[in-house]
Every structure is written in C-alpha cells, then in structure tokens.
Amino acid sequence: MFFCIFTYHFLLASGGQYAGIWVITNFTFHFFIPLAVIINWFLFESKKMCSYKCIFYWMVYPVLYCIISIVRGYSMVFILISF
C-alpha cells in the first residue's frame, strides 16, 4: 500500500493534466483507498503472527495476475486507440 501511495505521489500525480472525474478517481484509487487500508489494518485487524508460509499464499493472486497480464499483452495485436 505504501508503494502505491508513493508511486502515485512522486511519479504519476504530476505527470498529466487531469480534469473532472479523473482527478477524483485517481486520488481515490491511488491515495485514499491505500491509506484507508493501512488505517484499517492498524485499528481493526488482529495482530496475530503469521508464519512465513502465509507469504506464499498471499502472493498467489498477484503472481497469477502478473503472468496473465504479460501473456495477454504479448498475445494482443497492437491497436491504436485515439482518445
């Protein structure tokens, strides 16, 4: 979550000219929600110790998502979309 906040703040926030709803969605998705998750964890979650085995279970989804995204990216034909 800290990675998401810092990446948005230092790399993405000043990189474009956003207006309207884009300002709200970028702030919400990249700053407010990660900050809310961190506060939720500190205030409401039980602080039981997890074994190192838990790390592998938590990493299954992000690793699969990354693999699927890379495979899908390589399999797509380049399409120029004009905004």
Q: pLDDT (tens digit, 9 = 90+) per residue, 11-28?
A: 777 766 777 887 788 888
**Are 9 and 27 a contacting pair, CB within 8 Å?**
no
pLDDT for 69 beyond 60: yes
Q: pLDDT (tens digit, 9 = 90+) per residue, 23-43?
A: 788 888 888 988 998 899 889
In terms of pTM, does the model score above 0.85?
A: no
Q: Which pLDDT score is estimated for 64?
A: 92
